[in-house]
A and B are shown apart, each in its own frame.
Chain A
Amino acid sequence: MISSLYRIFTIGRNTLTESIRQKVLNVLLIFALVLVASSFAFSGLGTPGLDASGMFDAQIKFVKDAGCGAIGIFGFLITLLSTAQLIPQELHNRTIYTILAKPVRRSEFLLGKFVGMVLLLTLCTALMSLAFAATLYWQEKQAVEQTEAVYDRDSRWKADPGRVADYNHDVAGIVAQIRDPQLVEAVLLIYFKLLMTTAIALLISTFATSSIFTIVTTFLIYLIGHMEGTARDFWLASGANSSIWQSGLVGFISLLIPDMNSFTIVDEILAGNKVPWTHMLNLLGYADVYIIVLLAVSVVIFDYREI
């Protein structure tokens, strides 16, 4: 058991090394540029007036939206393009023969590849989150400075306890919006959605004959996964009008394709609505179960594949 885990981890670490040395992380430089550019672009949204209260709300919301959106999009690109390459590249370079000729089970090879992608996504999400946090910190600094500038128009405001209390209230509002602990939940949800996408792409690549097929099919499943919730609600809401076939089809698709739409709860978080941790844990549990099922099916298919 331990030796099996060791082999899986060895293959996983090699997959991560490959991604790093093939300069996959360079994509994150573009991410950083997008983040900085959006931060500058939205910094004009605050309209300083005599009352500083709430003037940075829209600006902070846009930066948070842009940050989480960019983490999701760049993470999706990294996971889709990297996972689709994993097995075809091993087959093309014949490295798979040298590995499977060693005392390594096929399941260990496949799980090792998945572990490699998990490590890569963890690293990428951590780095992107750090860049996001740095951008938010810069935004906070700017907003606090600009708030102070508004108050400084009255040079005696610091002597007025009422104005000082207002200032403290405004700054506390900015800090609360920027240092929102719910952002951790948002990033965690995006991360688990990426892991699910990896598991889907890996499953498809176990029988696909080209990377393009894997990329296109995964993308389609990703889209269907976003739409299936709406379809299910529509068919089920129509009650008696929906035939048993329609209900059956929607039920079958729900079983086959993970419901990606559940993860749009990130938008709720960004809108400032509280999402309880119990709901979060339910979603993460759903993702875990789906990932395990997808990996189990992948292992079975890959076991029978002629290489």
Chain B
Amino acid sequence: MESSAPVATPFAAETAGLTKRYPLTWKRKVLVALDHLDLQVRPGEVFGLLGPNGSGKSTTLKLLLGLIVPSAGEARVFGLPPDSLEARRRVGFLPENPYFYGFLNGDETLRFYGKLCGVTGPRLERRIEELIELVGLQNGRERPLRSYSKGMLQRIGLAQALIHDPDLLFLDEPTAGVDPLGSAQIRDLILRLKTMGKTVIFSSHLLEQVQEVADRVAIFSLGKKVLEGSLESLLTENQSTQINIPAELSAGQQERLRAAIAQAGVDDRDVRFTRPHLSLEQLYLRTVQAQADLASKNHPGK
């Protein structure tokens, strides 16, 4: 049992050697859903978890929420054990493909979750008004959730995750199955949350959206974190140099510059005047593929 005493830490969420194994008794095997994850997320950051299905993203979120117990290692949220009530008062969670209670309408749903968080009376009603406005669900207040579209469900899901004004939000595939417009609205919401000083840890398959909102990302494959860093550092090609000149160069000027570079001993044939960037998608595919190749080389029969 973890101690409920908070540990002084500068991180909103952190894990050390966090591992989750599921014994497959009937196959006499052990499935390693997450393997020795070390991760630190600072307050105010938007952190993206990327990876194919079954790579350990949802397991990481569930472990950080204290919904499942780690097989080894430790997770902390604001220095607290994630299954403590103190930690849960500071976090909000939107699960993947949430259904919620179809028999409740939008207002009733938020009222129910608010009461569970100890938000009551006029404060709760005020909060409901604010959140309905924030997620743009004015037309869903009186409708039962069973009649909601996928996008509306995600938005009410975000609202319930925010009902107690948490400092840290976990969003599991917040845009899965949502149309591009709804998806863009959720992306804008995440950006608004960032300006409000919230920490957001989310998993997604939509790489372009991750690129638009995340400060840092971690890429998972086969239960392991294989890459982590800021988008800026990860997407920059370090084998090239970009020279920024705040002026439009004529063809003659470009030729003279090329000659100067050649004079400096650099082969001028490959010189370009733009800084090359990988797209996040390229980086993601390359990383995941390399990991899969490595795994198939180490375990050919798998």
Task: Find B101's partner among A10, A95, A97, A306 (CB 8 Å cutoff).
Answer: A95
The CA of A125 and the CA of B247, in the complex, are separated in Å by 84
Asked if A98 and B85 sit within 8 Å, CB to CB, the answer is no
What is the total number of residues of chain B having a CB less than 8 Å from a CB of chain A? 31
The CA of A137 and the CA of B170, in the complex, are separated in Å by 59
Asked if A103 and B85 sit within 8 Å, CB to CB, the answer is yes
Asked if A11 lies at the interface with its beta carbon under 8 angstroms from chain B, I say yes
A97 to chain B, nearest CB (A): 5
B-contact bits for A1-20, CB 8 A (1 contact / 0 none): 00100110011001001100
- Give the chain A neighbours of B97 by CB distance below 8 A: 94
Asked if B115 lies at the interface with its beta carbon under 8 angstroms from chain A, I say yes
The CA of A21 and the CA of B144, in the complex, are separated in Å by 11
Task: Find A103's partner among B68, B112, B118 (CB 8 Å cutoff).
Answer: B118
Asked if A275 lies at the interface with its beta carbon under 8 angstroms from chain B, I say no
Asked if A14 and B118 sit within 8 Å, CB to CB, the answer is no
Task: Find B103's partner among A6, A17, A97, A99 (CB 8 Å cutoff).
Answer: A17
Q: A102-B88, A103-B89, A306-B68 are in contact. Are A95 and B99 (CB under 8 A)?
A: yes
Asked if B68 and A14 sit within 8 Å, CB to CB, the answer is no
- Give the chain A neighbours of B91 by CB distance below 8 A: 101
A-contact bits for B80-96, CB 8 A (1 contact / 0 none): 00000100110111011
Closest B residue to A19 using CB positions: B103
- Give the chain B neighbours of A306 by CB distance below 8 A: 68-69
Q: A17-B103, A18-B103, A98-B160 are in contact. Are A103 and B117 (CB under 8 A)?
A: yes
The CA of A3 and the CA of B89, in the complex, are separated in Å by 13
- Give the chain B neighbours of A100 by CB distance below 8 A: 65, 67
Task: Find B115's partner among A6, A17, A97, A98 (CB 8 Å cutoff).
Answer: A6
- Give the chain B neighbours of A17 by CB distance below 8 A: 103-104
Q: Which of B139-175 contact A (CB under 8 A)?
A: 157, 160-161, 164, 170
- Give the chain A neighbours of B161 by CB distance below 8 A: 98
A289 to chain B, nearest CB (A): 29
- Give the chain A neighbours of B273 by CB distance below 8 A: none
Asked if B88 and A98 sit within 8 Å, CB to CB, the answer is no
Asked if B116 lies at the interface with its beta carbon under 8 angstroms from chain A, I say yes
- Give the chain B neighbours of A159 by CB distance below 8 A: none
Asked if B89 and A10 sit within 8 Å, CB to CB, the answer is no
Asked if B10 lies at the interface with its beta carbon under 8 angstroms from chain A, I say no
Closest A residue to B113 using CB positions: A102
Asked if B112 and A21 sit within 8 Å, CB to CB, the answer is no
B-contact bits for A81-120, CB 8 A (1 contact / 0 none): 0000000000001110111111111000000000000000
- Give the chain B neighbours of A33 by CB distance below 8 A: none
Asked if B98 lies at the interface with its beta carbon under 8 angstroms from chain A, I say yes
Q: Give 7 CB contacts A-B under 8 Å.
A: A6-B115, A93-B99, A98-B113, A98-B161, A102-B113, A103-B116, A105-B85
Further 4 A-B residue pairs, CB within 8 A, beyond A94-B97, A97-B62? A10-B116, A11-B116, A97-B93, A103-B88
